[in-house]
Chain A
Amino acid sequence: MQKLLLLGDEAIALGAIDAGLSGMYGYPGTPSTEIMEYIQSSEEAESLSIHREWSANEKTALEAALGMSYTGKRAMVAMKHVGLNVAADPFINSAVTGINGGLIVVSADDPSMHSSQNEQDSRFYGKFAYVPVFEPADQQEAYNMVSDAFELSEKYRLPVMMRITTRLAHSRAAVVRKQKEPQKPFRLPSDPRQFVLLPAIARRKYSALLTAYESLKFENRLSRYNIFRDGRNRKLGVIACGIAYNYLMENFPDGGPDFPVLKISAYPFPNDLISDLTGRCEEVLILEEGYPLLEELIRGILDCHLKVSGRMDGAIPRAGELDPSVVAKGVGLTPEAGLKVPDIVKSRPPSFCKGCGHADTFNAVIEALKPFNGTGVFSDIGCYTLGALPPYNIINSCVDMGASVTMAVGAADGGLHPSVAVIGDSTFTHSGMTGLLDAVLKNSPVTVIISDNSTTGMTGGQKSHATGRLASICEGLGVEPEHIRQIEPLRKNHEENVRILIEEFGYRGVSVVISARECIQTATRRKKAEASENNSK
């Protein structure tokens, strides 16, 4: 069969295409973005007419995927871990409604916070919602799991989560393709009230969910993704979840370790397999990428007399990503140390691209705030978060998508003036619009600067839902038209832009300044594409 060199993200995408996917949904977020991008650029997906447009945010994406499932077809939705917070409401309730066509929710976690605000572990959401979770250890397993996840989803009538982490998402390896499955036919739910979570129905459905979750524990005892590998040395036993298994095996290149190992890649936890291992070993080490979920469960509140080690006793660092060296120490090996990094090596944080519009916007904001004392600038998630770093040092917050607008409203309530929010165009349509409506309804004295680069820039330039609509959205939400100002962040417009900002900072009501200039990266790519198109004509 065909062998392809794929990122973990791409393996999942191709797995879904080959498993008869009908709709792919999502909002860009590192490290999940390449799943949708692969399907968008796939000619096969095009010829199969697979729906594959970005959604306004993760919540709308998951709901649309649930709607696709309603028609009996297979749907997948992908997001980064913090995106699942946004989509938590439909996620948890979709476990109660159940599904019709198979539904996979991919959540890509970012331990060590390479590109994120936290390192939350999505497996907790799976447990919270009573949803089965698959956690692939490598690219081939990621590909294979997708069709199995769809089948499991349809067998139990439940959504299935696929949890990956940055390292798998963004690492390439060869993947062998399987036979392609056709898309599912249009078939509405046999029970027309399946998705109606009125309390009387919800109680019945919730009880069925609890029963299904118990059955899944038995199902997972037999899962081909949970592998027990016995060993003669019973002093230690290791339970390794997902990619942690690879980091363990890397340390035993010649035939593997001599102690028993249980690899877990299918949740809920297979209780029997775990007690098989713990029953035969004096001590158990637990390796998990992310939070110590299993470790906490095994330790419990009361001492179970089993010697357990892992992240909670310091055998493995409490936070941060695993790697082969960290795991080597955990199992009592002495890893190679390598050389020290010389002190002269300085850190090199990311910075605005040369010619970036956000930089000109911040330069104008910095100067416009000078006449006002005691200011605070709330900001948001995007490239412009780099405004927190030198030489700008201008923003005072970056919390979650859309929080700049609503924190500015709250701070204005608390007496801050001017209370300023800086938010990107895509982040604004993701979660800023509702906050702006709050501001309008109470005529809050805030200035919202939308730094509009006409793209979702930080994740690589995906389509922004805001493009061409910002002024009309703000007007529609009730911002007075004379306080919706448009500026172009260019050095030559600096004085004029500062003047406009000062006017709006001084206004004691809701004002919006749309600072619009195309992202320098997407502009370069667009010009290149246009030039090559002209050449080929």
Chain B
Amino acid sequence: MKSDIVLSGVGGQGILSIASIIGLAAIENGLYLKQSEVHGMSQRGGDVQSHLRLSDKPVISDLIPHGKADLIISVEPMESLRYLPWLASDGWLVTNSTPYINIPDYPPVEEILDQIRKIRNHKIIDADLIAKNVGSARSGNMVILGAASPFIEIPFSSLENAVKSFFGRKGQEIVNLNIKALQAGRDQKA
């Protein structure tokens, strides 16, 4: 088993939380993993990415080779396209449809979604709206993780456990909201 995942978004959107939660779930399942992150200047509203590699054999490179990612998980639609060179031809792209517009030349959202629809395996969901509907507007990243979870070879219950332990110190209420967001994402069809 191997799962090479590119996580993408804009600095501050919580992609490292997604990475940590998948990481915790991977450890629960006895998998090897490597996860590279972006720190420093680009975190300030710039594009950020993380390579997350899970396998039942030791992982060698910290970076995923081009054309080898099984999954792109993006919390921002334009950012999901930035990492297409990494996506395998049979890989999945799961993205939020709500744009994060902090640049003057942001393209029309419909054009971005059209490009995403050209990818063979894609899943576009309005994570912000779904998160709001379950009463946790700030849990869009958990909705996206839930939506991507069918494409990660880890039992869903392990992801739930990881969400519990990741948010545990923030109290039961926060844990419940994030579990609800995760489940709501899981329920979305491609």
Hey, which bits of chain A sit against chain B, CB under 8 A?
A: 5, 7, 30-31, 33-34, 114-115, 138, 167-168, 170-174, 243, 246-247, 249-251, 253, 323-325, 328, 335-342, 344-353, 383, 386, 390, 458-460
In angstroms, Cα B66 to Cα A337, docked, is: 6
A-B contact pairs, 6 of them (CB 8 A): A173-B33, A325-B66, A339-B84, A350-B45, A383-B41, A390-B104
Decide: B41 and A115 in contact? CB cutoff 8 A: yes
- Knowing that A249-B61, A345-B107, A346-B105 are A-B contacts, what are 17 other residue pairs whose CB atoms are under 8 Å apart, sorted by A's residue number? A30-B41, A167-B62, A172-B34, A172-B36, A173-B33, A173-B35, A338-B88, A342-B115, A345-B78, A346-B103, A348-B10, A348-B45, A349-B46, A350-B41, A352-B44, A459-B40, A460-B39
Closest 7 CB pairs of A and B: A336-B67, A30-B40, A115-B40, A350-B46, A338-B85, A250-B61, A171-B36
Q: How many A-B residue pairs have CB under 8 A?
A: 154
In this complex, what residue of B is CB-closest to A391?
Answer: B104
Secondary structure type dominating chain A contacts: loop
- In the assembled complex, which residues on chain A have CB atoms less than 8 Å from the CB atom of B104? 390
Nearest Cβ distance between residue B180 and chain A, in whole angstroms? 23
Nearest opposing residue in chain A for B81, CB measure = A345
Question: A5-B27, A171-B34, A338-B66 given as contacts; is B107 within 8 A of A346 (CB)?
Answer: yes
| A34 to B16 alpha-carbon distance, docked (Å) | 15
Write out the residue numbers on chain A whose beta carbons fall within 8 Å of the beta carbon of B67: 335-338
CB-defined contacts of A344 to chain B, threshold 8 Å: 78, 81, 107, 111-112, 115
User: How many residues of chain B are within 8 Å of chain A by beta carbon?
Assistant: 50
| Pair B65/A335 contact, Cβ less than 8 Å | yes
Query: A30-B41, A340-B85, A350-B11 are contacts. A323–B103 as well, Cβ < 8 Å?
Result: no
Interfacial chain B residues near A342, Cβ < 8 Å: 81, 84, 115
The answer to whether B60 and A336 touch across the interface, beta carbons within 8 angstroms, is no
- B40–A458 CB distance below 8 A: yes
Which of chain B's residues 56-103 have a Cβ closer than 8 Å to chain A? 59-68, 78-79, 81-82, 84-88, 102-103
A173 CA to B131 CA in the complex, in Å?
31
CB distance from A319 to the nearest CB of B (A): 17
Known pairs A167-B62, A246-B61; A33 contacts B39 (CB<8 A)? yes
A349 to B10, CA, bound (A): 10
Determine how close the nearest CB of chain A comes to the CB of B8; give it in whole angstroms: 11
Contact (Cβ within 8 A) A172 B35: yes
Whether B37 sits at the interface, judged by CB under 8 Å, is: yes
Contact check, A171 vs B35: say whether CB atoms are below 8 A apart: yes
Across the interface, do A171 and B37 meet the contact criterion of CB distance under 8 Å?
yes
In the complex with contacts A323-B65, A350-B43, A350-B46, A341-B34 CB distance below 8 A: no
Whether B36 lies near A170 (C-beta < 8 A) is: yes
Q: How far is the CB of B117 from chain A (nearest CB, A)?
A: 12
- Within 8 Å by CB of B102, from A249, A253, A340, A348, lies A348
Contact pick for B66, options A114, A171, A336, CB 8 Å: A336
User: Could you tell me the distance in whole angstroms from the C-beta of A243 to the nearest C-beta in chain B?
Assistant: 7
Give residues in B with beta carbon < 8 Å to A: 10-11, 23, 27, 32-47, 51, 59-68, 78-79, 81-82, 84-88, 102-107, 111-112, 115, 119
Cβ contact within 8 Å between B41 and A250: no
Complex: A250 Cα to B39 Cα, angstroms: 24
Whether A31 contacts B39 by the Cβ 8 Å rule is: yes
B45 adjacent to A247 (CB under 8 Å)? no
**Which B residues touch A251, using CB under 8 A?**
65
Q: Are B63 and A170 in contact (CB under 8 A)?
A: no
* A246–B62 CB distance below 8 A: yes
B62 touches A338 (CB 8 A): no
Q: For the complex, give the distance between the alpha carbons of A57 and B84 in Å.
A: 41
How far is B41's CA from A366's CA once the two chains are assembled, in angstroms? 23
CB distance from B26 to the nearest CB of A (A): 9
A353 and chain B: residue at smallest CB distance: B44
**Complex CA–CA separation, A115 to B66 (angstroms):** 23
Chain B residue contacts of A352, Cβ below 8 A: 44-45
CB distance from B37 to the nearest CB of A (A): 5
How far, in Å, is B48 (CB) from chain A's closest CB? 9
CB-based contact B27/A173 at 8 Å: no
**A342 to B82 CA separation, bound complex (whole angstroms):** 8
CB closest chain-B residue, reference A137? B60
Query: How far, in angstroms, from A30 to B33 measured CA to CA in the complex?
Result: 23
Contact A350 B42, CB 8 Å, known A324-B63, A336-B65, A338-B86: yes
B39 contacts which chain A residues (CB < 8 A)? 30-31, 33-34, 115, 170, 460
Expressed in whole angstroms, the Cα–Cα distance for A170 and B81 within the complex equals 23
Most A CB contacts (10 A, CB to CB) among B10, B40, B41, B65 go to B40
When chains A and B are docked, how far (Å) is the Cα of A323 from the Cα of B45? 25
Q: A336-B66, A344-B112, A350-B11 are in contact. Are A386 and B44 (CB under 8 A)?
A: yes
Least Cβ distance of A216 to chain B in Å?
29
